[in-house]
């Protein structure tokens, strides 16, 4: 099974991805996570990507496509995979479409998580992430039991550099210009399922589960 989570930054893709991958035993492919760890480890990829990420811009397609090519060959993808934050441009979507037949895989569904812009800003600026295991929290909507401490592993929580208000606004503009056209791209291919992401986390997941249950 191959599922794509599409939606603006802050829509809740990572939050839902954790539940979907657990329940459906899918490999999790987040290009954002892969890029952030390359930056942290000061790899060549990270050095090339860092400035774009800090400015809220998209990393060039050729770098991202290389990440995905590599990742799809990992044995954990044999049972299927969930993409979070990829594709983000029409060029990336075309690459994926052309690469899949060789791997004998097809896209089963594109879940397009839709959320109001004011809500996205509140979600992103209040997001906190565990520095050890990457678990996601929100100061108001999903607070940890102990302030700044991860419920799952006890790690310290931090705020992503690109979750500042200024960079969030840029990322939302970039989404509208470069990623939103993918909604039509996948609609035309009959693969798109819109998801109302304005609801509570569990209610969003119920909607996703019922769609995945029909596949
Ligand atoms: P994305 O991966 O799409 O950028 P995240 O899953 O990281 O988004 O969610 C962004 C922030 O919003 C996180 O702090 C998360 O805890 C919170 N969040 C996610 N889904 C919801 C929801 N349905 N209602 C309220 N807050 C949410
Ligand atoms: P995310 O964790 O998905 O919010 O991504 C964080 C940042 O990583 C983005 O703002 C981009 O700079 C970069 N990034 C992640 N995925 C992609 C992608 N598919 N294409 C281009 N840039 C990406």
Q: Is residue 63 part of a domain?
A: yes
Tell me whether residue 101 is in a domain.
yes
Give the residue carrying structure tokens 């992401």. Answer: 197
5, 126, 202 from 20: Cα distances, Å: 10, 23, 12
Residues 125-175 have pLDDT tens digits of: 999 999 999 999 999 999 999 999 999 999 999 999 999 999 999 999 999
How many distinct structural domains can be found in the chain? 1
Query: What's the CA gap between 135 and 18, in Å, rounded?
Result: 9
Average pLDDT over residues 88-94: 98
Q: What does the pLDDT read at residue 103? A: 87
Q: What is the mean pLDDT of residues 82-87?
A: 98
Contact 43, 96 (CB under 8 A): no
Name the closest ligand to CA 31: 2
Range of the domain at 87: 2-115+177-212
Q: Is residue 25 part of a domain?
A: yes
Does 60 fall in a domain? yes
User: Residue 50's domain is classified under what CATH number?
Assistant: 3.40.50.300
- The answer to the question of residue 153 being in a domain is no
What average pLDDT does the segment 186-215 reach? Answer: 97
pLDDT for 110 beyond 90? yes
Summarize the confidence of residues 188-215 as an average pLDDT. Answer: 97
Please check whether residue 124 lies inside any domain of the structure.
no
- Over range 54-63, report the average pLDDT: 98
* pLDDT at 125 (0 to 100): 98
For ligand 1, pick from 31, 36, 142, 160 the residue to mutate: most ligand atoms within 8 Å of CB: 142
Average confidence (pLDDT) over 177-201: 98
Question: Active-site positions?
Answer: 13, 88, 127, 160, 171
**22 falls within a domain:** yes
CB 181 within 8 A of CB 188: no
Task: Quote the CA–CA distance of 167 and 152 in Å, as a whole number.
Answer: 28
Which ligand has its closest atom nearest to the C-alpha of 115? 1
Mean pLDDT score, 2-25 = 97
Q: Tokens at residue 77, please?
A: 């993808």
User: CB count, 10 Å around CB of 120?
Assistant: 21
Q: What percent of the chain has pLDDT over 70?
A: 100
* pLDDT-based confidence at residue 36 (cuts at 50, 70, 90): very high
Q: Give residue 31's pLDDT.
A: 98
Does any domain span residue 141? no
For residue 85, the CA-to-ligand 2 centroid distance in Å is 6
The pLDDT of residue 176: 98
Say which residue the tokens 């009959």 belong to: 190
> What average pLDDT does the chain have?
97
- CA neighbor of 156 nearest in space, from 133, 127, 177, 173: 133
Instruction: Please name the residue whose Cα sits nearest to atom 22 of ligand 1.
Output: 201
Q: pLDDT-derived band of residue 177, with 50, 70 and 90 as boundaries?
A: very high
């Amino acid at each position: 099974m191959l599922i794509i989570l599409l939606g603006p930054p802050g829509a809740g893709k990572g939050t839902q991805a954790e539940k979907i991958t657990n329940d459906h035993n899918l490999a999790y492919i987040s290009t954002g996570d892969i890029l952030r760890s390359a930056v942290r480890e000061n790899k060549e990829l990270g050095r090339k990507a860092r400035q774009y990420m800090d400015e809220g811009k998209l990393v060039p397609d050729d770098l991202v496509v290389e990440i995905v090519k590599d990742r799809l060959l990992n044995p954990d993808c044999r049972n299927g995979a969930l993409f979070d934050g990829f594709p983000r441009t029409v060029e990336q979507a075309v690459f994926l479409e052309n690469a899949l037949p060789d791997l004998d895989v097809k896209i089963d569904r594109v879940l397009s998580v839709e959320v109001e812009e004011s809500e996205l800003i509140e979600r992103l600026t209040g997001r906190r992430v565990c520095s050890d295991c990457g678990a996601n929290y929100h100061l108001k909507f999903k607070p940890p039991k102990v302030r700044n401490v991860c419920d799952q592993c006890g790690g310290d929580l931090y705020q992503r550099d690109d979750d500042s208000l200024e960079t969030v606004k840029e990322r939302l503009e970039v989404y509208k210009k470069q990623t939103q056209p993918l909604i039509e791209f996948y609609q035309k291919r009959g693969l798109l399922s819109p998801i109302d992401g304005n609801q509570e986390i569990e209610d969003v997941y119920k909607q996703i589960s019922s769609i995945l249950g029909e596949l």
